[in-house]
Amino acid sequence: MLLFTPGPTPVPESVRQAMATQTLHHRTPEFEAIFKEARERLMKLFGMDECVMLASSGTGAMQASVLNLCKHKALTVNAGKFGERFGKIVTAMGKELVELKYDWNTPASLEDVKKALEQNSDIDTLFIQVSESAGGLRHPVEEIATYVKSVNPNIMIVADGITAVGVEKIDTTNIDALVAGSQKAFMLPPGLAMIGLSSDAVERIGSGVDYYFNLASEIKKQQQNTTAYTAPTTLIIGLNAIFDEIDKEGIDALYRRTEARAKATQSALEALGLTIYPKTPARSMSTVIDDDAEAIRKLLKTKYEVNIAGGQDHLKGKIFRINQMGLIPVNESVWVVNAIEMALSELGRRPFDGLASRTFNDIYFKEI
Ligand SMILES: *Cc1c(COP(=O)(O)O)cnc(C)c1O
């Protein structure tokens, strides 16, 4: 079965092997060397001054950012499940919330952010997804961050890059915290969350708040190549193995291939007469809105051995999402669009003529 859901993503064989080595104690020079290597590689990938790794799913890092960076009032962008989650965390942590709400196919607008800041001069932190995975939407994060900093450089910008870090190069000039998670673009099993931090963010964190998610105590320990509590050693070993895999061709090659694959997939789907759901598609996944979404998904799983994701909440049964994150063999991506074409033929939508794989190949190999 090909796993083509936008998280979890398949773990490369070499990485699984690296994680199958004997248990290491986390308070040893051996593990500290591994931790140091992972930390340095992460900071380089984030393009940021500091980073922390947390033993939690991505949501833990979202919560840690709310707790440690937002003083009392947050602006959040809700264009899907994950933007909605930032709002829920803000409220659960007892902070004030101003939420910009959008359809799940619609990116946040700079105008709305402007208005919200004018009406609420006490907003101290903005929370936004780079790629909102609920609909496969790309928000104009860099543009919004640049604007917010020009108005008030004290407003912290927290970007959820769980389906964006490792997918495309993100300009972190105006971003203070960039959140990532192991089971999406990092191609690892779930359980490791990572946050890239600006020096301004480190300053804002100060002595930190909370206990388990106190970022000040983590920063202090992690600068010494250890963690405040037991580190997820296996996942950090896996993280270095992922970087080894990526470094074979370099990160820029991964970005280029991901972009080419996303473009080729989108063109192939459109050639079949399908409709791309988001107005500004993220490169992390390809999302189609279609009345037959569930029937297509079911045929893919039962007949063609491809597991793609559906939609949630009001989009349940209405969309399907195809992963583009990670080191995906191109033959697998071609098979996925071909399988969708076969499914459409079986549903009586259009006769199979190989158009999807042809379109994919035309675009992908021209781009690459
Ligand atoms: C998956 C995801 C999360 C949540 O991560 P968990 O690891 O499930 O806690 C947050 N944001 C985005 C954009 C995601 O795709």
Q: Is the CB of 57 under 6 A from ligand 1?
A: yes
Q: Is the CB of 181 under 6 A from ligand 1?
A: yes
Nearest CA owner, ligand 1 atom 12: 162
Neighbours of 159 (CB within 10 A): 28
| Closest ligand 1 atom to Cα of 130 | 13
13-247 CATH fold? Aspartate Aminotransferase; domain 2 (3.40.640)
Q: Is the CB of 160 under 6 A from ligand 1?
A: yes
The residue count of the chain comes to 368
The string of DSSP codes covering 186-244 is T-S-S-EEEEEE-HHHHHHHTT--SSTT-HHHHHHHHTTTS-SS---HHHHHHHHHHHH
249-367 CATH fold? Aspartate Aminotransferase, domain 1 (3.90.1150)
Domain ranges of the chain: 13-247, 249-367
Q: Looking at residue 151, what is its pLDDT?
A: 96
CB 169 within 8 Å of CB 140: no
How far apart (Å, rounded) are the C-alpha atoms in residues 271 and 265?
10
Distance (Å) from CA 132 to ligand 1 centroid: 9
> Does an H or E element contain 99, and which?
strand 96-101
Q: Is the CB of 129 under 6 A from ligand 1?
A: yes
Q: Is the CB of 133 under 6 A from ligand 1?
A: yes
Q: Is the CB of 163 under 6 A from ligand 1?
A: yes
Give 281's DSSP letter. B
Distance (Å) from CA 253 to ligand 1 centroid: 25
- Extract the tokens encoding 145: 């961050």
pLDDT tens-digit profile, the chain (368 residues) = 999 999 999 999 999 999 999 889 999 999 999 999 999 999 999 999 999 999 999 999 999 999 999 999 999 999 999 999 999 999 999 999 999 999 999 999 999 999 999 999 999 999 999 999 999 999 999 999 999 999 999 999 999 999 999 999 999 999 999 999 999 999 999 999 999 999 999 999 999 999 999 999 999 999 999 999 999 999 999 999 999 999 999 999 999 999 999 999 999 999 999 999 999 999 999 999 999 999 999 999 999 999 999 999 999 999 999 999 999 999 999 999 999 999 999 999 999 999 999 999 999 999 88
Q: Looking at residue 138, what is its pLDDT?
A: 98
Mutate to test the pocket of ligand 1, among 53, 59, 63 (most ligand atoms within 8 A of CB): 59
Q: Looking at residue 257, what is its pLDDT?
A: 98
Q: Is the CB of 265 under 6 A from ligand 1?
A: no
Q: Looking at residue 184, what is its pLDDT?
A: 96
Distance (Å) from CA 58 to ligand 1 centroid: 5
> Does an H or E element contain 323, and which?
strand 319-323
Mutate to test the pocket of ligand 1, among 65, 162, 192 (most ligand atoms within 8 A of CB): 162
Mutate to test the pocket of ligand 1, among 160, 188, 194 (most ligand atoms within 8 A of CB): 160
The angle subtended at Cα 250 by Cα 246 and Cα 255, nearest 5°, is 85
Q: Looking at residue 368, what is its pLDDT?
A: 87
Distance (Å) from CA 245 to ligand 1 centroid: 23
Token pair 């070993």 is found at 237
Mutate to test the pocket of ligand 1, among 53, 65, 82, 235 (most ligand atoms within 8 A of CB): 82
| Closest ligand 1 atom to Cα of 183 | 7
